[in-house]
Amino acid sequence: MFELTITSTLPRTRARTALFRTPHKELETPELAIVATDAKLRGIPKELWNDLPCQYLIVNTYHTFTKEIIPKIKDAGGIHAYMGYPKRKIATDSGGFQVFSLGFGKKHKVGKFAGKIAPSEMIVDDTENIVTIDENGVSFEYDGKPVYLSPEISMDLQKEIGADIIFAFDECTSPFNSEEYTRSSMERTHRWLDRCITAHAPYRDMQALFGIVQGGEYKSLREESARVLATKDVPGFGLGGSLGKFKEEVHGILDWIIPILPIEKPKHFLGIGQVRDIFEGVERGVDLFDCVIPTREARHRMVYTKMGRHSLRKMQYIDGPIERDCLCHACRAGIKPKDIWELFKVKDPSAAIYATSHNIWFFSRLMEEIRMAIKKNTFYELKHEYYKYY
């Protein structure tokens, strides 16, 4: 399913290109998945989806489950038919990170990173998780109703969705959790992976199950988790969890774990997709990414170009498209930033269409440029060009 095609010969890099084959499509990596949270691309009407260049999408298992979308997906014949994407690769997450967001993430007010918090404010807290987690699974409330998730339920839900890549059900920890709690959580995640493998066994030829490396910000735990997962019979790995107190720590975490994982299997960096993080991840051997940035930032009137990230408000005096060589719905029609800005001001839905289309085109082209640079041995030159503005 995963065939390495080019491994960079440049010093200090593990960058590579590969072909990832599934029943639906052959995907060239490195690649970024566009997030389609509840099986739709926000801001873009369905009739325009096939005009977009994105070849990899990720759908949120938790949201499609709690919003009762999965029966509709199943009735349509699976996620590819439901979205009208018969030849594009689609992944589903397990729901583990959303459970974290409802629990310690919400209590500690953290997401992927704790952010710039003063050391004096970094107080360890393992008490009173808002959700209930035990060996069997996780209990919580959604919209006033009780919800229960377990490794087996997550596998069943992802099987019904029918994605190409699915992820094992895991427990994420907060940067505020102690090393003791993080170890206990990591070991539970490993046991849950074994249950996921068993539950998924009848469908392993139809879906690729990725195990997830956990261990928080602790080097010894991340390395231990990577060693455990390297022994498991899974076709790939997710690099997950809340990734440290500060964003700068994330690249060090990759340095700890990627050399331990089998080189012949793909690695997906879950929930990461800033421009610099993509370059740093690819340089360290990451093959796949996913992030809400292209669509979420567009709805907040931010667009990406080769010369940086810009507010449409500040670009409204530019006499031309957002980017001249872009083929998005806005740029190829000659729609100017000031036009889009005015559409946002009057809450015209076409504003989100133009901005979202542009950001998806930007990130798709960025990944294509990275793949080409690896093949031409010009990866560092491309990285330097983008780092002038990011």
Catalytic positions, written as ranges: 93, 290
Q: How far apart are CA 269 and CA 170, in angstroms?
A: 15
Q: Across the strands, what pairs with 305?
A: 308
CA distances 289 to 67, 238, 271, Å, are: 25, 9, 7
The span from the CA of 124 to the CA of 114, in Å, is: 13
The helix-helix angle for 349-376 and 337-345 (nearest 10°) equals 140
Peptide bond into 337 cis (omega under 30): no
CA dihedral 52→33→351→48, nearest 10 degrees, is 30
**What whole-number distance in Å separates Cα of residue 384 and Cα of residue 390?**
10
Longest dimension (CA), the chain: 60
CA gap 316, 388 in Å, rounded: 23
> Are the beta carbons of 172 and 242 closer than 8 angstroms?
yes
Q: Which residues of 329-341 are buried (b: 16+ CB within 10 A; e: fewer)?
A: bbbeeebbbebbb
